[in-house]
Amino acid sequence: MLPDFSVFQKQIGVTFHKIDFLHEACTHRSYLNENQDWPLPHNERLEFLGDAVLELAITEALFKKYPQKDEGYLTSVRAAMVNYISLAQIARDISLGDYLLLSRGEEKDTGRAREVILANAFEALLGAIYLDQGYEIAAQFIAQQVFSHVDEIVEKQLFKDAKSLFQERAQEKFKTTPGYQVISQSGPDHRKEFVVGVFIKDKQVAQGKGYSKQEAEVEAARNALESLEE
């Protein structure tokens, strides 16, 4: 039995002309394995599109809001706004997880795996809104749900690069610069996941995962910062 997508549309303030776009955005790859008669594809193509729409809308909004800031600053703030942790939280805020079509196994996922599913579905939702409503409506939705957090991110300096912060702390505490090394990589070429370790004087202090080496390095640095505070 499908969730009541009419309730979700009211929650997010978007009424789809073509409801299949919304259904597709909520269809995880795993759902098709157990429901082979489901007429729609999984949401990864919409995720690909939504990622581009999100980046354009956020870039445009930052460009207008901070006319005196250089591209390095704007890039850092944008990265803090669109990483999977931030997007997963926004997905939870709009109860997107209640409407995802998942296999029974995926429904039980917790932790990072669940965060990634939520973040990807949110990007797929943006792709669906863009196709159904056009860029302006998609940009308005992004402004309400994502860009509305920009003041908090800037005020609390949440955009600061974890790698830079950890390097500062490591040099202060250990008088050395940390190094990063790929521990493993898995998955298909279009969705490869990396595990990266961060090392101090050949001793691994933390690991991180990500869909790029850079993302995995940042998570490793973030985890290393947390370990220093313990």
Taking the CB of residue 109, how many other CB atoms lie within 10 A of it? 15
pTM for the model stands at 0.74
pLDDT at 222: 86
Which tokens in the block code for residue 159?
A: 């955009």
Report the distance separating Cα 157 and Cα 27, nearest Å. Answer: 35
Per-residue pLDDT of 16-65, as tens digits, reads: 999 999 999 999 999 999 999 999 999 999 999 999 999 999 999 999 99
Class of domain 7-155: mainly alpha
Is the distance from CB of 92 to CB of 84 less than 8 angstroms?
no
Q: Which residue in the list 106, 115, 123, 219 is annotated as catalytic?
A: 123
Look up tokens 């402004």; give the residue.
Answer: 143
Q: Which residue in the list 24, 51, 115, 132 is annotated as catalytic?
A: 51
Looking from the CA of 211 toward its CB, the CA atoms found within 13 Å total: 12
Active-site residue, 189 included: no
Q: How far is CA 24 from CA 13, 20, 28, 54, 138, in A?
A: 18, 6, 8, 18, 17
Q: Which of 15-19, 49-53, 65-69, 75-79 has the lowest mean pLDDT?
A: 75-79
Report the distance separating Cα 70 and Cα 182, nearest Å. Answer: 31
> What are the start and end residues of each CATH 1.10.1520.10 domain in the chain?
7-155
Indicate if the alpha-carbon torsion angle 81, 136, 9, 46 is positive or negative.
negative
User: How far separated are the first and last CA of the chain, in Å rounded?
Assistant: 46
Active-site residue, 51 included: yes
Give the start-end residues of each E strand in the chain. Answer: 179-186, 193-200, 203-210
Per-residue pLDDT of 80-138, as tens digits, reads: 899 888 999 999 999 999 999 998 877 776 667 788 899 999 999 999 999 999 999 99
pLDDT at 230: 62
CATH 3.30.160.20 is the classification of domain 162-229: yes
Report the distance separating Cα 163 and Cα 70, nearest Å. Answer: 20
> What are the start and end residues of each CATH 3.30.160.20 domain in the chain?
162-229
Q: Which amino acid is at 197?
A: G
Look up tokens 């809001």; give the residue.
Answer: 65
Report the distance separating Cα 9 and Cα 135, nearest Å. Answer: 18
